[in-house]
Structure 1
Amino acid sequence: MSDAKRNWKHAVAGCTAGLTSALLLHPLDVIKTRLQVQDGIKGVLPAYRGTRDALRCILQEEGPRALYSGLSPALLGAGLSWGIYFAAYNQAKQRYQKWLNQPRLSAPLHLLSAAEAGALVCCITNPVWVVKTRLQLQRGVRLPALRGAGNATAAGAVGAAKALGAAVPGANYQGFVHAVRSIAREEGIRGFYRGLLPSLLLVSHGAIQFMVYEELKTLAAYAGSPAKQHGPRKQLSSAEISVIGALSKLAASVATYPSQVIRSRLQQRMDPNRSVLYRSGWHTFRLILRREGPAGLYKGIVPNVLRVMPQSAITFLVYEKVMQLLESEMLKNHAAFS
């Protein structure tokens, strides 16, 4: 089977897997992002005391719909990211295998292949993640019914909503397209690439994840014995793929989480009169350490772990199953026409 056909299948499988996991676990991503930007400065969002308090406040004050803020760019970004990532990652692996004439790569070359794919994904999808972050950080306050109310009541309700950052004209982005237009108009192309440096640093996240995933998958496929790696490869079960995917994501998340916090702080829509402004990745890092200590670099890690472990398990499981399905269909078609 040609490399082009295999890369097409990797892209389809990766896109399907990314969309599935993003759709199922988006509420935890909203909570994580809101906790990441909590720096003690009074703003639009309330001061959440943790994951449970954030969930309770959002449901009580904004309703269940707020847990799906930024879903459109999240789905677009997840589909693009995983589709491009899996295709680019496998293309890089194939290139190194040809250069070295080896059927299986070492862990450092898996790391390098994943880093290449991650850097490409960052440059393409950063604008989508900026929009997602901005939409997730908007507070959608439930407005009282204004129909039939007096002008004073209506004006007072809208004024209060604006003060809280509710979705009224001139205050919030009205959706994905409106956010794109507003950022382009108000901040230019640079606005879409806020947080790119920590995003590129997060390339190490995907690289670590894929390296650990490949190594654990190989150990499981050959019953944990490196000596057996030239024998028949065992077909992994759904449970094994899920556990390996979750463990690889946990390892990468703990190692690279501070870069995610820095990225969220840089990508948020910030009032220029705010007492604390984040100007760059390095400035943000120093500011967090000085004002909040090392713990500030791990804000929101609980909902992040609760999200990324099942997300990675689902992503890799769906990816492997879609790949198996596509391989099977391709073989059937080939047999039918041969």
Structure 2
Amino acid sequence: MASPAPTPTPTTTWLPAKSWQHFLAGGLGGMCGAVVTSPFDVVKTRLQSDLFRQKHADVGAVMGDSVVLVRRPGGGLLWHFVETAHIIRDIARDETPRALFKGLGPTLVGVIPARSINFFTYGNGKHIIANRFNDGQENSYIHLCAAAIAGVATGTATNPIWVVKTRLQLLTSNNLPTTTATSPASFFGGSIPMIRQIAREEGIRGFYKGLSASYLGVTEGTIQWRLAASTNGQGGGLQEWAGMLGSAGTAKCVASLITYPHEVLRTRLRQPLVNGQKKYTGLIQTLRLVIAEEGARSLYGGLSAHLMRVVPNAAVMYSIYEGILRWGSNR
């Protein structure tokens, strides 16, 4: 009597089918979000930096050879959003509207691989961790681990790009280095000279300034992914998409409020040398110095501009990400 044929052992693949879709969807979503919200990114970076603290301490503008200052009426939360609009107006008037897109070149160069790496690592990391350690079942811990790993991988791979972007956004007509004076606000024109300047003055280590603060900021992405995963839209059609947009924006808003100080510390660490001197040298030293010189409130400088940027950015990014994944799953 012939023995029955052995049952084939199911194989567990490292990556799910069509895993490339996470890479593509993340890149497209990040690119669209970055273009739409670029002016808020410029304002946020400047408000985080002490190089612009005095200029934006009062809402005002340079008119001819005189400075006209308009004092803050109250300094409440709502006024900070009004102040952001005033600063955008002043930048457009004093430095041309193109200045509102300073750093967009390296942002696009960075955000596409950054979002691609982040979504790819997170989306497929859940699959790998669940299969290897939890019999294929996802839970909160797996989501948190995948998000943390994705944040570390993304920060390490793209930090040099964000250093260049920050330096370009901190340029004005008054502090342009000679290497970038010909095209200070062009999307890509100032990037190569800035890369050369950083390499010449600070070496390779200069491109990794703020990396420690980026690792600290991994908590933001972890919180964001967890909240977004637990508040996905329910129902179908328009209701589902509205729920998805709302959950993505809410998750980003909550995560940003909890972890925002790391953004300020990271910007300070990435500032250019002033008179050949480096003011901020490490994460703890920067934290102590900022609080000592400016008070704890300065750790939330630029928060209004940040929220005006990241909330719609997250909504756009996640809607495109989910849309592409759903489109791919139906093919």
Q: Same fold (TM over 0.5)?
A: yes
Select which of 286, 294, 297 maps to 1:295: 297
Aligned to 1:19, which of 17, 31, 46? Answer: 31
Cα 1:170–1:105 change in 2 (3 A) is closer
Instruction: Decide whether aligned partners of structure 1 residues 185 and 39 sit closer, same or farther in structure 2, where only a CA change above 3 A counts.
Output: closer
Match of 2:274 among 259, 267, 271: 271
| 1:239 matches 2:242 | yes
2:39, 2:166 → 1: CA distance? 13
Percent of aligned pairs with the same amino acid: 34
Query: Where does structure 1 lack aligned partners over 5 or more consecutive residues?
Result: 142-163, 224-233, 330-338
- Quote the Cα distance in structure 2 between the aligned partners of 1:216 and 1:41: 38
- Relative to structure 1, the CA distance from residue 255 to residue 107 in structure 2 (aligned partners, 3 Å threshold; closer, same or farther) is same
Residue 113 of structure 1 aligns with an amino acid whose one-letter code is A
Alignment partner of 1:316 is 2:318 = yes
Shift in CA distance, 54/327, structure 1 to aligned 2, threshold 3 Å: same
Tell me if 1:165 matches 2:154.
no
Question: Do the aligned partners of 1:51 and 1:302 also contact (CA within 8 Å) in 2?
Answer: yes
Tell me the TM-score normalised to structure 1 length: 0.79
- Mapping of residues 1-338 of structure 1, within 5 Å: 3=15, 5-38=17-50, 47=57, 49=59, 50-102=83-135, 104-139=137-172, 141=173, 164-166=174-176, 168-169=178-179, 175-217=190-232, 220-221=233-234, 237-272=240-275, 277-329=279-331
SS of match in other structure, 1:283? helix
In the TM superposition, what is the alpha-carbon distance from 1:109 to its structure 2 partner?
A: 2.1
1:152 corresponding residue in structure 2: none
Instruction: State the SS of the aligned residue for 2:272.
Output: coil
- Counterpart Cα distance in 2 of 1:193 and 1:202: 15
Distance 2:42 2:32 in 1: 17
Q: Is the 8 A contact 1:35 1:48 kept in 2?
A: no
User: Is residue 38–residue 47 contact of structure 1 (8 Å, CA) maintained in 2?
Assistant: no
User: What amino acid maps onto 2:256 in structure 1?
Assistant: S
SS in 1 for 2:279: coil
Gaps of 5+ in 2: 1-11, 60-82
TM-score computed with the length of structure 2 as normaliser: 0.81
Q: Is the helix fraction higher in 1 or 2? A: 1
Q: Does the Cα contact within 8 Å between 1:16 and 1:79 map onto a contact in 2?
A: yes
Contact 2:179–2:193 (CA under 8 A) maintained in structure 1? no
Q: Which stretch shows the higher mean deviation, 239-248 or 53-62? A: 53-62
The aligned length equals 290
Amino acid at match of 1:204: T
Cα shift at 1:38: 3.1
Alpha carbons 1:48, 1:54 under 8 Å: kept: no
RMSD between aligned residues: 2.4
